[in-house]
Amino acid sequence: MIRPRSKRTAVGTVARPKSDIQERILLAAHQRFLAEGVEAASLRNIAKDAETSIGMVYYYYTTKDELFLAVIEDTYQQLLSELEVILRAKSSYCEQMRCWFERIARLSTHELEVVRLVVRESLTSCERRKRLLSRFLRGHVPLLLRAVLDGVKSGELDASMHPLVILSCTLGIGTVPTLMLRAAKESWAGLLEHEQMPDLVKTAMGELIAQLPHQDFMAQTLMTLIRRSVGAKA
């Protein structure tokens, strides 16, 4: 009987199926870091959760901080790619930022958890804060600053204001409130599922959540405030 040939690579070795070990390690680390914090999380427990060995964790990541940054990068790179698309697709600064606020408002639960990790570890570890800042200064910060400079050049933004001031106003007035609204919806929705919460409180919170502004309306309102703050004077 003639046996079928094994599929081989160009160098003549048998092709192996792609492993998902690294993805499992990142997911396990994400969950452990979120629940316990980076300092308290154990690489051995992460390996156990990922159903692999501690040696495989060290094969991909030599330190726990390196693993933490990889967890952040895994999600951050996708957001960064979407930001680049937004900035290319929209011509005006206001449209660019409005679309960006709408994307922030649509953060998935996983993405929102990564934001929480960034904030918490930035506050608790000077070294991680420096490394995160270094990454962001090579990521979304220069992209947003370029958008500001283009807005100033086109006359859309107030040229008498320093570009970094305009950028800070945009992030402070727009991104932070959008993140807070997204986090509030996530947290309050979780509280409604708590069995011990009185029905009266659940009803009140449900009505409050229902009255929160829609993400598109929120983005447009925030952009109106920003335009009044840093827009070019008539």
- pLDDT, tens only, 79-108: 999 999 998 887 889 899 988 888 888 888
Fold (topology level) of 72-230: Tetracycline Repressor; domain 2 (1.10.357)
Domain with CATH 1.10.10.60 in the chain: 19-62
Between residues 211 and 108, which one has the greater pLDDT?
A: 108
Considering only CA atoms, which of 76, 77, 79 is closest in space to residue 118? 76
Confidence tier at 223 by pLDDT (50, 70, 90): confident
Structural contact between residues 91 and 82, judged by C-beta atoms closer than 8 angstroms: no
CATH of domain 19-62: 1.10.10.60
User: What is the per-residue pLDDT across 160-207, written as a single tens digit (0 to 9) for each?
Assistant: 999 999 999 888 888 888 887 777 766 655 554 555 656 655 566 556
Q: Residues spanned by CATH 1.10.357 within the chain?
A: 72-230
Q: Enumerate the H helices of 14-139 as residue ranges.
A: 21-36, 43-49, 54-60, 64-89, 93-105, 109-124, 126-136
